[in-house]
Amino acid sequence: MSHPVVHFEIVGKDKQRLESFYGDLFGWQLQDIPGMGYSMVAKEEGGIAGGIGAAQGGGPGHVTFYVQAEDPQAVLARAEQLGGKTVMPVTDVSDQVTIALLADPEGHVVGIVKGM
């Protein structure tokens, strides 16, 4: 697969409640990232990495999966050609990770990531 799914995230209004729910439900181990309102879910054998966090701006939250891409901007451009739209432009999260968000023609949001 040239673009594997490599990350998921669950964000909402109450980060602590979401962490407790998913941690207790699935036995996930979480590591808080100080100052980010986000915790990483430890990757398990056969699974993908993930995170749980607070929705930006107090929004309703969402569940998103992230697809690996060497050129996130090219993926956004192709999505728009196919009837999708850019939700969040290419954004550097750190020196090593770049993300973007697109919506498919029905409005489902999908993340694009480089460097995970």
Report the residue count for the chain. 116
Residues of the chain with CATH 3.10.180.10: 1-57, 69-116
CA distance 32 to 42: 11
Q: How many CA atoms lie within 13 A of 5 on its CB side?
A: 9
Q: What's at 21, amino acid-wise? A: F
Q: What's at 4, amino acid-wise? A: P
pTM, full prediction: 0.81
pLDDT tens-place string over residues 79-114? 999 999 999 999 998 899 999 999 998 888 999 999
Ramachandran category for residue 89: left, alpha or beta (phi over 0 → left; psi -120 to 50 → alpha): beta
Fold of 69-116: 2,3-Dihydroxybiphenyl 1,2-Dioxygenase; domain 1 (3.10.180)
pLDDT tens-place string over residues 10-46? 999 999 999 999 999 889 999 999 988 899 998 888 8
CATH of domain 1-57: 3.10.180.10
